[in-house]
Amino acid sequence: MVDVELLSKICKVPGAPGYEQRVRELIIKELDGYVDEIELDPMGNVIAIKRGADDTKVMLASHMDEISFVVSYIDDDGFLRIHPLGGFDPKTLTAQRVIVHGKKDVMGVMGSKPIHIMKPEERKKMPAVTDFFIDTGLSKKEVDKLISPGDVVTRERELIEMGKCVNSKSLDNRVSVYIQIEVMKMLADKKVPYDIYATFTVQEEIGLRGAIASASGINPDFAIAMDVTLACDVPDTLPQNHITKLGQGTAIKVLDGMTVCDYRMINFMKEQANKKKIPHQMEILPAGGTDTAGLQRHANGGSIAGALSIPLRYMHSHIEMVNKSDIQATMDLLKACLLNIDKYNWNFR
């Protein structure tokens, strides 16, 4: 059963890349008493450890940062210019509300040149992030008291339920943060075969930086990343370009633009899904990447790595959407993998 209230709380908390402190506090509070140890590394990654019967290391990773902006300039009228932290679809930014995290949180709206006064050639051009500014409704004098260049900006949007789905900002990747927290709670009173390092990483949206650092420190034998993936199952998209579909189960990653997952991990995940009758689909993502790449390459000598992905529509916009049944399937498969990882033949064959 998906705890929508907890998921909503996790999505709402701001956490720009490098400024994840509020998310970090929430995660530590939620996991206190459910794991054996909680550590913070120098970059700010949260590492929640559950000890197993064997000191073989299984590392999980869900990034806790969200695509955001940083204030780069304040003009003479108090309008803010911004630099993106992570990839945005600029056409989705028009007239959206944001929160500027200055000396206090200040509400703003994304503005751009009105279409009514655009030249014909301007109307045909796709917008860029640099075409937008933030209007706080405050005078220059008031803005200067509260906001400075270098302050970060996050999206403002509440989570709502829509049919069998939830819709919110920051489901990329707070839905995985939620799943990882819930699965560690499920395992609290169970014996696990290996040590589990449930890691909540920083700065994924700007280059997998937290995953690289934490994998180097933990040096896992096995690694499972958790992130969202594209669900392009919408009108005017060819079936072969859907990547995944909402409501068809968790996605077992085969590859993305940065990683070819270990075939042993893929087969192990498929085996567990089939045994437990967990709905699943295969993810072949032609571009983009996740913490999987950092976990696979930056353990000492590499790790046996794979990923579970949650299908998501409207990625990198103000409103992202996932199906609750896919969240549940991902939780079920992750739990099964962690309890049975010692029972699989991991030899090359």
Domain boundaries along the sequence of the chain: 4-66+169-343, 69-155
pLDDT tops 80 at residue 122: no
Per-residue confidence (pLDDT) for residue 349, from 0 to 100: 83
CB-count burial class (<10 Å; 0-12, 13-18, 19+) for 243: buried
Per-residue confidence (pLDDT) for residue 128, from 0 to 100: 86
Per-residue confidence (pLDDT) for residue 82, from 0 to 100: 96
Token pair 């503005």 is found at: 111
Supply the DSSP symbol for 90: G
**Distance from C-alpha of 233 to C-alpha of 258, rounded to nearest angstrom:** 23
Per-residue confidence (pLDDT) for residue 276, from 0 to 100: 98
Neighbours of 204 (CB within 10 A): 27
Per-residue confidence (pLDDT) for residue 41, from 0 to 100: 97
Q: What is the mean pLDDT of residues 54-73?
A: 97
Say whether 321 sits in a helix, a strand or coil: strand
Q: What is the mean pLDDT of residues 319-345?
A: 98
Per-residue confidence (pLDDT) for residue 116, from 0 to 100: 84
Q: What is the mean pLDDT of residues 128-139?
A: 94
**pLDDT band at residue 114 under the 50/70/90 scheme:** confident
**pLDDT per position as a tens digit, 228-256:** 999 999 999 999 999 999 999 999 999 99
DSSP letters, 172-190, are HHHHHHHHHHHHHHHTTTS
Q: What is the mean pLDDT of residues 250-274?
A: 98
Contact residues for 313 (Cβ-Cβ < 8 A; gap 6+): 231, 232, 233, 234, 246, 320, 321, 322
Buried-exposed string 8-28: b where 16+ CB fall within 10 A, e elsewhere: bebbbbbbbbbbbeebbebbe
> Is it true that domain 4-66+169-343 has CATH number 3.40.630.10?
yes
**Distance from C-alpha of 15 to C-alpha of 24, rounded to nearest angstrom:** 9
Token pair 């970090």 is found at: 24
Of 204, 205, 283, 320, which is the active-site residue? 204
Q: Which residue has the higher pLDDT, 224 or 92?
A: 224
Per-residue confidence (pLDDT) for residue 105, from 0 to 100: 97
Tokens representing residue 185 in the block: 């709670």
pLDDT tops 80 at residue 124: no
Q: Is residue 204 annotated as part of the catalytic site, yes or no?
A: yes
The CATH T-level fold of domain 69-155 is Elongation Factor Tu (Ef-tu); domain 3 (2.40.30)
**pLDDT band at residue 156 under the 50/70/90 scheme:** very high
Q: What is the mean pLDDT of residues 211-233?
A: 98
Neighbours of 290 (CB within 10 A): 28
**pLDDT band at residue 112 under the 50/70/90 scheme:** confident
Of 4-8, 189-193, 345-349, the poorest mean pLDDT is in 345-349
Q: What is the mean pLDDT of residues 135-150?
A: 98
Per-residue confidence (pLDDT) for residue 27, from 0 to 100: 98
**pLDDT band at residue 130 under the 50/70/90 scheme:** confident
Q: What is the mean pLDDT of residues 307-329?
A: 97
Q: Provide the whole-model pTM.
A: 0.96
pLDDT tops 80 at residue 333: yes
